[in-house]
Amino acid sequence: MISLDNPRDSAERVVSDLLRVPSLADELGRIFATHGHTLHLVGGTVRDALLGKLTATGATGGAPDLDFTTDARPERVLEITRGWAEATWEAGIAFGTVGLARRGARLEVTTYRAENYDRGSRNPTVSYGDSLDGDLVRRDFTVNAMAVSVPDHQFVDLFGGMADLSRGVLRTPGPPAVSLDDDPLRILRAIRFEAQLGLTPTPELVAAMTARADRLKIVAPERVRDELRKLIVAADPAAGLARLVDTGAAAVVLPELPALRMEIDEHHQHKDVYTHTLTVLRQAIDLEDEGPDEVLRWAALLHDIGKPRTRRHAPGGGVSFHHHEVVGRDMTRRRLAALRFPKDVADAVTSLVFLHLRFHGYGSGEWTDSAVRRYVHDAGPQLRRLHKLVRSDCTTRNKRKAAMLARHYDSLEERIAALAAQEEISAIRPELSGDDIMEILGLKPSRLVGEARQHMLDFRFDMGLVGRDAAVAELLRWARKRGLAVPGTPAGSGESATSPGDHA
């Protein structure tokens, strides 16, 4: 956080930080000034500069993304930047935003505006404003309502955003109820900023968020999804998720999370699944290798969402959650589909939720090589994430039990590595392809070919690599048992010989 010992020095510091990107910001500012318009860097660009996160090369080493506000209308922005911008996009023009690209940087220029929802709307309605002051007061939070003019670098902070940033406080420029009524998505944005930047919402803001959580129902699923995806990869998503639940917002946008707060009575003791879930999420984050892993984090958050629907009380005080991984898989798929998640992300998360309990059948190493191969095959490209999820899922306070589970998983990983050294197990497939099967058995494409291929895959799991001749012999044996006419055996002979690969 910045220091406010000398406010003037702080104001000069933001200008100094922004001067690291003058070649684009000032260049564009001069174009606007030449055409009689004002231009200000605004919002997250200024906030990140105050936090020391904005450099000439951007936060992640690439060219910076810059946000501007202007008195020019969108059509005018396109007109005066024609020839200067290397590319433009108009996807946001209905909301007053024009996108520009130059020298690898993405710049968004938005006309002074005011936006709000009516009670039945799923998207904001936009009206253009005529002043910078009017534009800043309608912004979501004071820390995003600061501006710096370009090219002359006059710092504008009408609502104390710099002071709030220094104190770690999240406030709205105007009354919070009005701000959240203008755009209910700001409830999720407040939660995300708490998780991302460590800014604590004021009590007044929290009260307004809680009172208006139900209004999130009118927000388009895609906008909700985008905020939740940013939240899950924040520095401290567990803090944001707790706020999501406490304000009632989760009950609207992610109801499976508060449902984990199942009542626990003295006769049926079991672990608090909600608290356990947040612990698993934190432990999964600790195992990340290279920055936030969105798929792993979603899997950690959703891995037990099937428990409330599968909880059963047993005589004597026991509690069971049989098949909660199957129910959880289906619930995960439906929720991520409702939020319009990309298919690849949804498929990966769903697979991990389904597989997270598989290891617990491993015991102290009783699995056959076939079972280990199946584990690797079913995990597919998610195997490394599955390793991390399973390890994170151990939250017992019993140190001896935790150590035992860790040893067992170490053993499983060692066996996977040993098998991988002998054969390719990361992409196991039958030694005979579908074309091979059709040629050998004289079949045309059909369900029977699929059944034969599945049998040969099971045979591959059980026996490992046996070579083409042995694989062909097994296919013929299977076909004869099925009563198929194959070379050397009359149809319907019903040969009864069996082998370790017999799965018919």
- Please state whether 291 falls in left (phi above 0), alpha (psi between -120 and 50) or beta: left
Contact between 409 and 391 under an 8 Å Cβ cutoff? The reply is: yes
Same-domain check for residues 411 and 373: yes
What value does the mean pLDDT take over residues 288-296?
A: 95
For the whole model, what pTM was predicted?
0.81
* pLDDT one-digit tens code per residue, 20-32: 545 789 999 999 9
Same-domain check for residues 391 and 436: no
Out of 357, 388, 422, pick the residue that ends a domain.
Answer: 422
Burial-class residue 36 by CB neighbours within 10 Å (0-12, 13-18, 19+). exposed
What value does the mean pLDDT take over residues 160-184?
A: 94
Contact between 413 and 375 under an 8 Å Cβ cutoff? The reply is: no
CB atoms within 10 A of CB 421: 8
Beta strands in 296-384 (DSSP E): 312-313, 319-320
| Amino acid at residue number 397 | R
Same-domain check for residues 382 and 439: no
Same-domain check for residues 15 and 114: yes
In a domain, 402, yes or no: yes
Same-domain check for residues 468 and 361: no
Q: Mean pLDDT across the chain, nearest whole number? A: 86
CA pair distance 273, 21, nearest whole angstrom: 48
In a domain, 405, yes or no: yes
3-class DSSP assignment, residue 247: coil
Same-domain check for residues 372 and 464: no
Say how far residue 194 (Cα) sits from the centre of its chain. Answer: 17
CA pair distance 435, 246, nearest whole angstrom: 57
* Residue listed under structure tokens 């590319």: 87
What value does the mean pLDDT take over residues 433-460?
A: 90
3-class DSSP assignment, residue 340: coil
Tell me the residue range of the domain where 402 lies.
Answer: 273-422
Tell whether omega for the bond before 151 is within 30 degrees of 0, i.e. cis.
yes
Kind of pairing between the strands at 87-89 and 169-170 = unpaired
The residue count of the chain comes to 504
- The partner residues of 39 in beta bridges, in order of sequence, read 70
In a domain, 264, yes or no: no
How many structural domains does the chain have? 4
Q: Please, what sign has the CA dihedral across residues 166, 43, 48, 226? A: positive
Could you tell me the CA-to-CA distances from 85 to 19, 172, 324, 421 in Å, in that order? 21, 34, 53, 53
* pLDDT one-digit tens code per residue, 66-83: 999 999 999 999 999 999
CA pair distance 230, 252, nearest whole angstrom: 18
Same-domain check for residues 182 and 157: no
* pLDDT one-digit tens code per residue, 25-62: 999 999 999 999 999 999 988 898 888 776 544 433 44
pLDDT, position 366: 72
